[in-house]
Amino acid sequence: MNDTHAPLLELRNLTTMFPTRRGEVRAVEAVNLTLRKGQILGLVGESGCGKSTVLLSILGLIAKPGRVDKGQVLLEGRDITHLSGGEMRRIRGREIAMIFQDPLSTLNPAFHVGEQIRESLRLHHMMLGPPWPLDRAKKAREKKRVIEVMQEVGIPAPEARYKAYPHQFSGGMQQRALIAIGLACQPKVLLADEPTTALDVTIQAQIVALMRRINQEHHTAIILVTHDLGLAAEFCDHIAVMYAGRIVEIGPTDQVIEEPRHPYTAGLLRCIPHVGERRAIEPIPGNVPDLADLPPGCAFSLRCDSARPVCNEGFFRLQPASADAVKRGEGGHWARCLRLTDYQMPALED
Ligand SMILES: Nc1ncnc2c1ncn2[C@@H]1O[C@H](COP(=O)(O)OP(=O)(O)O)[C@@H](O)[C@H]1O
Ligand SMILES: [Mg+2]
């Protein structure tokens, strides 16, 4: 993607905490990310790494007593980190839409799918004029737009399906309906949290193709959260790998996939099955650490086959992981690993 575009969405030093009985847990710690118009960024890591918390922090949806403790979320340069509920609602949907893994938890079972998409349009005042009084002509215009959106996301026979209930849709159709709700207001940014995890592979491929088409036709920027590095490799132009609340590697997809510089990324790559290859999948030993009880130093060190005693000392910054990383700044390839000693250049963040 063209790096000369001004950032659409920026996370600066974002840190999100949850108080727990065992102390404060930093589910997201000092995360810096930049998303530009039309860019597709993959946020990858095992379950429990903090990926969903990043998306919920962007939208001001962290459940209390959890909170964004430090840092900022900037939308086109405007700080939206601590907006009031009403101001945030205006941004959600109209500027930034989010789709979740489980469509049925978001769709209301009691209302027609078409009505729910129409509601999303109306909530954000995208239709001309005030929502009331609702005359017939206006209702017809709104319905026409809903049918267009349903068509756009590949729901067949949308006129007939307008009055269907969510349970009458298959899983893939439900996810399409959810994407339609998200897209009804033509947001600039789409946040997709494991949108295909619950779906069959063929349906998964269709949903990915749909998101790609939306990205190409409307230049909608997308953050795709997934535990599947293979999916991110296929779909995203940049990949950020998260571990224990921190970004441990970030860069252009081809560099991250072809030359992973963090052992965690390399481990995730070895977990991807390749069709036609008889190589055994090698799981990463052990589990994501308990965030309330992180080891000193590198949080991955407990599972890392190249860990040295020094890995448990001090703190590791993101280091340039390719020759051009410093020149490209946040568009370059960076990793948080002691092994990157051959690139001892100024770090991007503290
Ligand atoms: N509501 C919450 N209350 C307490 N801790 C939470 C809450 N949500 C998330 N966490 C903590 O943050 C960690 C990361 O969660 P999450 O962002 O959902 O990870 P991911 O999406 O990568 O699976 C969890 O393992 C948990 O420790
Ligand atoms: Mg999650």
Domain residue extents for the chain:
1-95+189-350, 111-186
CA 112 / ligand 1 centre spacing (Å): 33
Average of per-residue pLDDT across 23-31: 95
Which atom of ligand 1 lies at the shortest distance from residue 225's CA? Answer: 21
Which of 11-25, 237-251, 274-288, 300-314 has the least mean pLDDT? 274-288
**Percent of the chain having pLDDT more than 70?**
92
Q: What is the mean pLDDT of the chain?
A: 89
- At residue 346, the pLDDT reads 46
- 21 and 234 in contact (C-beta within 8 Å)? no
Distance 48 CA to ligand 2 centre (A): 7
Question: Which residue has the least CA distance to atom 11 on ligand 1?
Answer: 27
Going by alpha carbons, the residue nearest to atom 16 of ligand 1 is 50
What was the pLDDT predicted at 7? 93
What is the best residue among 11, 17, 44, 53 to mutate for testing ligand 1's pocket, by most ligand atoms within 8 Å of CB?
53
Q: Relative to the alpha carbon of 197, which ligand is closest?
A: 2
At 14, list the tokens: 């974002």
Reply yes or no on whether the pLDDT at 165 is more than 80: yes
**Residue with CA closest to ligand 1 atom 17:** 50
Query: Domain 1-95+189-350 has what CATH class?
Result: alpha beta
Q: Distance, CA 62 to ligand 1 centroid (Å)?
A: 10
Report the separation in Å between the CA atom of 68 and the middle of ligand 1, taken as the mean of its atom positions.
13
As for ligand 1, residues whose beta carbon falls within 6 Å of it are 18, 20, 25, 27, 45, 47-53, 63, 66, 291
> Which residues fall within 8 angstroms of residue 207, CB to CB, at 6 or more apart?
172, 175, 176, 179, 195, 196, 199
Geometric angle at alpha carbon 90, from 128 and 210, rounded to 5°: 80
Mean pLDDT to the nearest integer, 126-130: 50
Six-digit token string for 89: 């609602």
pLDDT, average across residues 152-173: 94
Residue 39 has pLDDT above 90, yes or no: yes
H/E segment holding residue 66: none
Protein residue closest via CA to atom 18 of ligand 1: 52
Q: How confident is the model at residue 279 (pLDDT cuts 50, 70, 90)?
A: confident
Structure tokens at 232: 């991110």
Task: Judge whether residue 167 has pLDDT over 50.
Answer: yes
What per-residue confidence (pLDDT) applies to 2? 43
pTM, full prediction: 0.91
Q: Once rounded to an integer, what is the mean pLDDT over residues 74-94?
A: 91
- Alpha-carbon gap, residue 306 to 233, rounded angstroms: 24
Tens-place pLDDT, residues 101-112: 888 888 999 999
Band (240; pLDDT cuts 50, 70, 90): very high
> Which ligand has its closest atom nearest to the C-alpha of 43?
1
Nearest C-alpha neighbor of 54 from the set 42, 37, 36: 42
Decide if pLDDT at 350 tops 50.
no
Taking alpha carbons only, the member of 218, 217, 257 closest to residue 236 is 257
How many Å lie between the centroid of ligand 2 and the Cα of residue 54?
9
Q: Round to whole Å and give the CA distance between 90 and 281.
A: 45
- Ligand 1 atom nearest the C-alpha of 62 is 1
List phi, psi (to 5°) of 258: -85, -30
Token look-up 């893939």 returns 172
Mean pLDDT throughout 189-210?
90
Query: Which of ligand 1's atoms lies nearest the C-alpha of 19?
Result: 4
Confidence at residue 269, expressed as pLDDT on a 0 to 100 scale: 95
Q: How far is the CA of 18 from the centre of ligand 1 (A)?
A: 8
For residue 327, what pLDDT is reported?
Answer: 86
Residue nearest to atom 2 of ligand 1 (CA): 18
Counting from 1 in the atom list of ligand 1, the atom nearest the Cα of 288 is: 25
**Which residue CA neighbors atom 6 of ligand 1 most closely?**
18
Residue 337's pLDDT is 93
Strand-pairing partners, residue 28, are 16
141 CA from centroid of ligand 1 (Å): 42
Residue 131 scores a pLDDT above 80: no
Distance CA 61, CA 56 (A): 5
What separation in Å is there between the alpha carbon of 203 and the centre of ligand 2? 20
Please report the pLDDT score of residue 53 as a whole number: 97
Mean pLDDT of all residues in 115-119: 90
